């Protein structure tokens, strides 16, 4: 039996802020992501069953390149910073000793740990009414941190493609 757990992130249509519902493979709600009015992006993540706040992702301002701070259970765990590149986006991830590889602009990429083991595989649904992502997480303990990383990367890439 595999420990892989699948999450689906579905952006809510007609929302003023970045709001997402996160479901498991059986369409049970797992997390709710609520964008907040702030300078830059700010996401608060709540456990869908208890409505308890579990994480915050906040864009740091006054930085040369986009940078997000990730806090899980009110403890800062690190940052995600877009690196200066010409064609393909790359990110410096200074928490969990993780890195990403793949087609970030196509939203098909993999998160690896420092030993090269797969943490999660991310893919974007092609035909859907709203942005829908699939995250296959190999260890359930990495689910929330993987979600935070995906949301930060999505915010950076969306801002980049709008500019």
Both tokens of residue 16? 């003023």
| Domain interval for residue 139 | 5-162
Q: What is the pLDDT of residues 63-102, one digit of tens each?
A: 788 899 999 998 999 999 888 877 777 888 888 899 999 8
Residues of the chain with pLDDT under 50: 1, 14-16
Rounded-to-integer distance, Cα 113 and Cα 162, Å: 30
Here the CATH number for the domain that contains residue 22 is 2.40.160.200
**Looking at residue 64, what is its pLDDT?**
81
In the chain, how many domains are there?
1
Both tokens of residue 40? 């830059």
Which 3 state secondary structure label does DSSP give 151?
A: helix
């Amino acid at each position: 039996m595999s420990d892989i757990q699948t999450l689906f992130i579905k952006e809510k249509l007609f929302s003023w802020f970045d709001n997402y519902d996160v479901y498991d493979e059986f369409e049970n709600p797992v997390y709710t992501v609520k964008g907040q009015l702030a300078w830059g992006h700010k996401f608060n993540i709540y456990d869908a069953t208890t409505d308890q706040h579990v994480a915050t992702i906040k864009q740091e301002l006054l930085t040369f390149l986009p940078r997000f701070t990730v806090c899980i259970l009110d403890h800062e765990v690190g940052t995600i910073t877009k690196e200066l590149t010409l064609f393909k986006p790359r990110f410096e991830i200074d928490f969990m000793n993780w890195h990403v590889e793949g087609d970030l602009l196509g939203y098909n990429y993999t998160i690896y740990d420092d030993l090269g083991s797969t943490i999660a595989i991310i893919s974007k649904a092609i035909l859907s009414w709203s942005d829908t992502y699939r995250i296959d997480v190999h260890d359930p303990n990495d689910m929330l941190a993987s979600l935070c990383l995906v949301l930060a990367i999505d915010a950076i890439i969306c801002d980049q493609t709008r500019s």
